[in-house]
Amino acid sequence: MQILGVLAFVVALLLSVMIHEFGHYLTAKRYGMKVSEFFLGFGTRLFSRQIGETEFGIKAIPAGGYCRIEGMTPTDQMPVGQEERAFYKATSGRKLIVLGAGSFLHFVIGYLLLFTLFAGIGTTQVLPIIGEVIKGSAAQSAGLLAGDEVVSINGKKITDWYRDVQVIRDSAGRELSLGVQRSGQELIITATPTLESIDGEQRYLLGIINESRLVRTGFISSFQKAAIVTKDFLFQSVKSLANLPSKIPQLWGQTVDGQERDANGLVGIVGVARVSGEAVSSDNLTPMERLATFTLIIASLNIFVGIFNLLPILPLDGGHMAVAIADEIRALFARMRGRARPAPIDVTVLTPITVVVFVILAALTLLLLVADIVNPVILNL
């Protein structure tokens, strides 16, 4: 079953890559640029078909994909009569749209997956139904029973237990009036929360364990919730990338010295695939909970990849976007001085920087690969 989850992850990743490249393809064609190749994978051609001026196909190594837009630099040779279709000849605005289209579609994928999660699959929510009463607790003393549904606290109707339970925690030990639904009858039960230590934190508790299950959100509300979670994932992705340099020494220790792997630390593609397999094969989750977990993983991965690809470093799309922005800044200064627009920046001049960045990313990828194999992240789902 775990191998099924890994395969599902690989398929989802390749589909995401294909959609990313399709974003470049569509926008490049929209602006009249010449797109000569659109391939999924790298290495030896396994299959290809010429459609118009573009060769579509699959290559042997399923490690990504690419969309070849002709004329990325002024030194690229264009077919006679098609020189104006070169990428570098386009306006900076069009360059930015073409370059950013891939990441934009990653965000769209992430949002749509989250919408599907909320509206179609459901998210695990704590319900106001008591699943267990702790022995010797305030709840047991008050007469609360497993199966009781708490419908109100101090006369206020329960609408969201995750939020409404704060009334208990803020009670400061004062007596509460609980409206309880039991066997079709509504009862009023008074209970006084007691101060307990939970993970080193003092809280006022009744001593009940609530039931939880997947609950779908309304169609309209799902749009809003998906947007909120997408925004949160975007923020967390930016934060993770900002903290990435500081986590590399920790990753080194976890890889070389066998230190315990941090589930919130750096994880590579192999690690994410393994976690996906663990989620799909977990006996502790229902089939729908497995699907929900897998959907959440793929959504968060797409949003992270979208942000990562926008980093202003070559050879990432964000690096090429930074060059296009630099072109516009140079053009602005030229206009202010009454001069002609300068020639576009030739990114081949920046090749040494590109090579250094590529080597660093490759080294980090290799370190993550080794870490994910010798000391994998275990979530115990």
Instruction: Give the number of other Cβ atoms within 10 Å of residue 10's Cβ.
Output: 14
DSSP string, 227-272: HHHHHHHHHHHHHHHHHHHHHHHHHHHHHHS-PPPPTTS---HHHH
- Segment among 43-57, 122-136, 148-162, 340-354 with least mean pLDDT: 340-354
Residues 278, 298: Cα–Cα separation, whole Å: 14
Nearest to 119 by CA among 295, 239, 248: 295
> Within the chain, which residue ranges are assigned CATH 2.30.42.10?
124-215
Q: pLDDT value at position 73?
A: 83
**What mean pLDDT comes out for the span 8-26?**
91
368 or 139: which leads in pLDDT: 139
Q: How big is the chain by its Cα radius of gyration, in Å? A: 27
Q: Which two tokens stand for residue 169?
A: 């925690």
Q: Do the Cβ atoms of 209 and 130 come closer than 8 Å?
A: yes
279 or 337: which leads in pLDDT: 337
Burial pattern 94-113, b for ≥16 Cβ within 10 A else e, equals bbbbbbbbbbebbbebbbeb
- Tell me the whole-structure pTM to 2 decimals: 0.83
Q: Which two tokens stand for residue 87?
A: 């990428």
- Say whether pLDDT at 230 is over 90: yes
pLDDT (tens digit, 9 = 90+) per residue, 24-61? 999 999 999 999 999 998 889 999 999 999 999 999 98
Evaluated on CA atoms 374, 377, 378, 381, the torsion sign reads: negative
Q: Which two tokens stand for residue 333?
A: 């200064």
CATH top-level class of 124-215: mainly beta
Q: Do the Cβ atoms of 337 and 331 come closer than 8 Å?
A: no
Residues 50, 43: Cα–Cα separation, whole Å: 18
- Say whether pLDDT at 146 is over 80: yes
pLDDT (tens digit, 9 = 90+) per residue, 273-330? 777 887 777 777 888 988 999 999 999 999 999 999 999 988 889 999 999 999 889 9
Q: Which two tokens stand for residue 180?
A: 């309880």
Beta bridge partners of 212: 126
Helix, strand, coil percent content, the chain, rounded in steps of 5: 50, 20, 25
Preceding peptide of 245 cis, ω within 30°: no
Q: Do the Cβ atoms of 285 and 381 come closer than 8 Å?
A: yes
Residues 167, 176: Cα–Cα separation, whole Å: 9
Q: Do the Cβ atoms of 68 and 37 come closer than 8 Å?
A: yes
Q: pLDDT value at position 1?
A: 55
Give me the count of residues in the chain.
381
Q: Are strands 194-198 and 201-205 parallel, antiparallel or unpaired?
A: antiparallel
pLDDT tier for residue 262 given thresholds of 50, 70 and 90: low
**What mean pLDDT comes out for the span 225-234?**
95
3-class DSSP state for residue 171? coil
Q: Do the Cβ atoms of 103 and 306 come closer than 8 Å?
A: yes
